[in-house]
Chains A and B, each alone.
Chain A
């Protein structure tokens, strides 16, 4: 990040220079905005997201349900319909800009150079083709091989994701698989071409811990062997803790905190992150009476709250002076090396709250 300015976000790339910087990263997302027109108004699902990812590294994305994680990923994959979605910003993949590239080019890259594990397996799997046929298809689109070779590869992949008797289950249709088996079938499909960029959107929600460990290993293997870059989106903080190098926290279409996993776990800086970490049931701790969610309801993305979008729910909204919280949107600012947070509180204010109120409870 060192070559990008200190308040590295939303103003977007300041001319060619930063685009050049972006082009040098393996994946670089600059000021991405994705809005949808609906009858009730413009939904600002993603509103100025920037991040970089090096080859071989893993970025974890966590955040509120509905905060724009999947929309961001689908944007990178070029999967939004151009009629419905308004997209701006830049997405650089290995030196190539994707938003400006034609849909044909993006289609070529998709499934081979970059691929995605979708959050809803049922939306990604066709109900009327067998699981095996769909994996074979995904493989053959990008590899000139005969059917038999492709089938061998598909069975191998089903085996690697832990489907018992893969050769016999190869002919099953999606509805004959359990939820977790469908999820794994989709993982097999998205890994079949050894992608260099893998976006895994909630890849293990339907998996028990043992199979989950196996899938995470599989992703690590891919990284080791092909230096793949991985973006993993998950609500399971145990999973991010295990696999992510860096962590990005989203709220209301924006990134509100970003840093190394260690930093974000041990010294979270943003009040939303505090709330998130505090609402988790933990198996390594004493049982609590009642879980403590972040109070209030998720924000509207049509009428996004003014200033800091978190202010209606933030217990510290009155800490920053001059009502700044309600009038001015905070930018991501670097707090310590490589650790960014978007909050108006001063360092002293934040540290006081952290040590007195938050840290003892986490």
Chain B
């Protein structure tokens, strides 16, 4: 969304300068410092804590008004958790979240309510975030009712306009979520999130279920809203072509941490973290003739480490082909390696080596290339952890009690804390 040529004149807010370096530019709309979320794992009836899923482990970044921050990373690396922390659908274990200069890290649901209008989330699982008993018309009207807002021309008319914007038609108004296709459900979530003209939208895989044409339509819509209303987006997605198209800056996550944060162009042309490089090399290209012959694809071997017991030092060292001794012992800090380009690596690509004396160990190289499966071992583990079970065993009705009050629970408009007042 940085086709700035077209955009700059209309944006007095200075939002267009998004891709500048970190020090300049306007006050961030969102500031995240040292954000941590650990989900406890407990064992037995007494729920003794035996460990934790370290889903998000120390994230710091800013988002400036009017910009789009793209977030990519391996499945399970903590992107959705991060999204739900900054929209405060989850309570952080540590760190700080500031929205428009205000500390919202531990605000209560009541204190958050007025802000819900400004911060919206589009959920990764459309099916789980739509109340199956409400019609689509009802679902998209909910934000207006909760915030007591009467749009010009009435709620129904506004809802129909929103549905049309995302390519749905009036014949859908009275239908229930299960009567829609996957992509239609996803668009309902988008319409709902955009209903109240929020300031910040955290969109978790917003277009993954859409065909490329409707995807283009939705991406253009988000783009237009940004131009007209100065919306700020944090967009989480696996599709690196989409991310490249929409983002001003991109954060790459690996196992609960940001390993690289850079301007779009800089990231795609000169990735610095080996993980980013591997990620970019593996994008499937829509061209059947290239099938099989992908010589430049870096295939990461070895098991994906678990966030329950992440590797020490650099979390990527178990799979990195450049790993040296220090990588296993010392965590590389996220530092600026070029203007507007941060990475956390001792031996970055496309930048001076931070630890030149440490050379690549042959052993490390072998781990990466040869690490195979060890099914025998996993079976053993199966026995030993037989009775271990996780804490948050869901029980009907218990849904909104813990900090999981979220999209996982089929509730209407969880982002509006809809069920709260109604149920209690």
Stretch at the interface among A20-28, A86-94, A159-167, A327-335: A159-167
Pick the residue among B127, B309, B395 that contacts A120 (CB under 8 A): B127
Q: Using Cβ atoms and an 8 Å threshold, which residues of chain B touch A235?
A: 183, 208-212, 215
Smallest beta-carbon distance A264→chain B, Å: 9
Check B179 against A298 for contact (C-beta < 8 Å): no
1/0 per residue, CB under 8 A from B, across A270-303: the answer is: 0000011101111110011111111001101010
Known A281-B241, A281-B242; contact A241-B283, beta-carbon cutoff 8 A: no
> CB within 8 Å of A: which of B200-217?
204-205, 208-217
1/0 per residue, CB under 8 A from A, across B176-203: the answer is: 0011111111010000000000000000
Check B39 against A176 for contact (C-beta < 8 Å): yes
Smallest beta-carbon distance B42→chain A, Å: 11
Q: Is A38 an interface residue (CB 8 A)?
A: yes
Stretch at the interface among B24-32, B70-78, B112-120: B70-78
Interface size of B as a range? 35 or more
Q: Is B102 an interface residue (CB 8 A)?
A: no
Indicate the member of B53, B241, B404 with the most A CB atoms within 10 Å: B241
Q: Is B285 an interface residue (CB 8 A)?
A: yes
> CB within 8 Å of B: which of A241-285?
241-242, 261-262, 265-266, 275-277, 279-284
> CB within 8 Å of A: which of B283-308?
283-291, 299-300, 303-308
Check B283 against A168 for contact (C-beta < 8 Å): no
Smallest beta-carbon distance A307→chain B, Å: 19
Check B75 against A282 for contact (C-beta < 8 Å): no
Chain A residue, CB-CB nearest to B380 = A167
Check B308 against A165 for contact (C-beta < 8 Å): yes
Chain B residue, CB-CB nearest to A168 = B385
Bound Cα distance A261, B388 (Å): 47
Known A66-B181, A170-B382, A213-B282; contact A179-B169, beta-carbon cutoff 8 A: no
Q: Using Cβ atoms and an 8 Å threshold, which residues of chain B touch A261?
A: 288
Pick the residue among B205, B219, B409 that contacts A291 (CB under 8 A): B219
Pick the residue among B6, B209, B381 that contacts A65 (CB under 8 A): B209
Q: Is A349 an interface residue (CB 8 A)?
A: no
Check B209 against A238 for contact (C-beta < 8 Å): no
Q: Using Cβ atoms and an 8 Å threshold, which residues of chain A touch B289?
A: 262
Known A237-B212, A287-B245; contact A209-B238, beta-carbon cutoff 8 A: yes
Q: Using Cβ atoms and an 8 Å threshold, which residues of chain A touch B128?
A: 122
A contact residues vs B (CB 8 Å cutoff):
36, 38-41, 62-67, 69-71, 119-123, 127-128, 130, 151-152, 155-156, 159, 162, 164-182, 184, 201-202, 205-213, 235-242, 261-262, 265-266, 275-277, 279-284, 287-294, 297-298, 300, 302
B contact residues vs A (CB 8 Å cutoff):
3, 6, 39, 41, 53, 72-76, 79-81, 124-128, 164, 167, 169, 171, 174-175, 178-185, 187, 204-205, 208-217, 219-220, 223, 238-242, 244-245, 278-279, 282-291, 299-300, 303-309, 373, 375, 378-379, 381-382, 384-385, 388-390, 392-396, 404, 408-409
